Amino acid sequence: MASYDIGNKIRMTGTFTDPLDSDAAVDPSSVYCSVRTPGNVTTTYQNGVDSEITKSSTGIYYLDLALNDDGDWYVRWWGKDSGGVVSVAEEVAVKCVAHIAV
């Protein structure tokens, strides 16, 4: 688990590929990103609805996350196809620690 100082802003990236097509980059019909804070508050964003998610190229999306609380943060990306079936999911955990001056 990567560790960052409180107050840092980090870029979380979700990458979507098709394992049946040599892992070619693909865009799901809908892309979502859920962020769970150390306080156990979960916020879900949807590409095209919420400005927090940005598409940088085919199959690659990102969200800039401001780490404003110490503890474990969880970021989960998933996509749905046109039928509403979840096509891809990945989760990343990061640790945010209060910086102590010495």
The predicted-structure confidence for 39-62, as pLDDT tens digits, reads as follows 999 999 999 999 999 999 999 999
Total number of domains constituting the chain: 1
State how far the Cα of 91 lies from the Cα of 62, in Å rounded to an integer: 13
What pLDDT sits at residue 99? Answer: 66
In a domain, residue 10? The reply is yes
Phi, psi for residue 91 in degrees, rounded to 5: -130, 140
Q: Answer whether 45's CB lies under 8 Å from 33's CB.
A: yes
Residue 65 resides in a domain: yes
pLDDT at position 100 is 56
DSSP per-residue letters across 45-100:
EETTT-TTEEEEETTEEEEEEE--SSEEEEEEEEEE-TTS-EEEEEEEEEEEE---
The answer to whether residue 62 is domain-embedded is yes
Cα 90 to its chain centre, rounded Å, is 8
Identify the domain containing residue 91 by its residue range.
2-97
14 assigned to some structural domain: yes
Residue 22 pLDDT:
86
What's the confidence (pLDDT) of residue 20?
Answer: 82
Tell whether the model's pLDDT for residue 35 goes beyond 60: yes
Task: Give the CATH number, domain containing residue 27.
Answer: 2.60.40.10
